[in-house]
């Protein structure tokens, strides 16, 4: 019997459309794996539905994550979560699947919730000797304690200029501003709060931006070749990520010993956080090839041109087989 895989996409963040592209990518990667049948399941708020044909969707029964079509009940063996943002990246959906006993592809509740909160994750890892940028956390309910001008000055005194202001509880494609003056702080905070209730203000680090994917099973631990990210934009923003305004060089043009250290650190962070499935960790290499953590992504993009498929190809691996290893590791 073929395993029935639900590829879960959508979600409630601004990265909804990106998630749909990742789901299409995963569906295509698994198409060559003869042991699976796949179904796209779309989540948007309380509207959960399974795609049963090109133009037909059927409601999901949330009691057991099943659906009924033409009088027949259909269940799933495994959930491949590819939602970027809430509820698939922050532990909420993982808690639901834990409760109904459905195995899934990515980190569990604790690791997902922690990595989704950039400030919490980075400061937790800082306690293990991981270098991170200086940062300030703002919560929406507490921002009235200082007037706008005082808050801007306080943030700049702490993290310097330029700095990045972005949502603390979402992806890094929307609501991100590279701030160069004190006057730009407040508009940037307002823009970031449009994406969530917490904002992180983070010091700018000059250097080489890289990203490294990894996964583990009971049998192996694999760190992929590293990708170097080069863009003429102010930073690696939405247009750089999804509209081709970037050069993605795999393997990265860095010394072999630096590559080895980054891959080792990626696997170490994977263990510290208790991750599962494929993750991707972004870094900045500053002067002297010093490794600085940017953020941990536990549901990375999975389109054909995303970093992870690129790195898998560079490693001489087959992405469908890698996904199959992750699925089978749950059984």
Which of 61-65, 227-231, 264-268, 320-324 is predicted with the least confidence, judged by mean pLDDT? 227-231
Q: How high does pLDDT run on average in the chain?
A: 92
Per-residue pLDDT for 241 more than 60?
no
Confidence of residue 153 (pLDDT cuts 50, 70, 90): confident
Per-residue pLDDT for 242 more than 70?
no
Distance of CA 148 to the CA centre of its chain: 31
Tell me, what's the pLDDT at 304?
83
Instruction: Give the percent of the chain with pLDDT over 90.
Output: 82
């Amino acid at each position: 019997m073929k395993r029935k895989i639900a590829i879960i996409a959508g979600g409630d963040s601004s990265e909804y459309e990106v998630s749909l592209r990742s789901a299409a990518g995963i569906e295509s990667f698994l198409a060559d794996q003869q042991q699976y049948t796949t179904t796209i399941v779309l989540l948007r708020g309380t509207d959960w539905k399974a795609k049963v044909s090109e133009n037909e969707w059927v409601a999901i029964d949330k009691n057991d994550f099943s659906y009924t079509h033409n009088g027949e009940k259909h269940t799933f063996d495994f959930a491949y979560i590819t939602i970027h943002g809430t509820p698939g990246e922050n532990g909420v959906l993982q808690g639901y699947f834990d409760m109904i006993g459905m195995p899934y592809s990515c980190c569990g509740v604790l690791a997902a919730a922690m990595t989704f909160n950039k400030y919490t994750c980075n400061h937790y890892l800082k306690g293990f000797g991981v270098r991170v940028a200086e940062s300030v956390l703002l919560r929406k309910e507490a921002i009235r304690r200082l007037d706008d001008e005082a808050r801007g000055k306080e943030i700049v005194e702490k993290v310097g200029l330029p700095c990045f202001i972005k949502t603390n509880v979402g992806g890094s494609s929307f609501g991100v501003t590279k701030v160069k003056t004190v006057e730009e702080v407040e508009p940037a905070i307002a823009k970031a709060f449009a994406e969530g209730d917490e904002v992180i203000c983070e010091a700018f680090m000059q250097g080489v931006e890289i990203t490294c994917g990894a996964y583990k099973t009971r049998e192996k631990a694999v760190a992929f070749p590293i990708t170097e990210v080069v863009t003429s934009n102010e930073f690696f923003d939405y247009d750089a990520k999804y509209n081709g305004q970037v050069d993605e060089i795999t393997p990265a043009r860095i010394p072999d010993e630096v590559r080895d250290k980054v891959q080792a650190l990626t696997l170490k962070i994977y263990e510290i956080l208790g991750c599962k499935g494929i993750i991707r960790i972004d870094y900045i290499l500053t002067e002297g090839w010093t490794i600085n953590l940017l953020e941990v992504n536990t549901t990375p993009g999975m389109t054909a041109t995303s970093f992870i498929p690129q790195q898998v190809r560079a490693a001489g691996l087959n992405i469908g087989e890698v996904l199959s290893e992750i699925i089978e590791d749950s059984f």
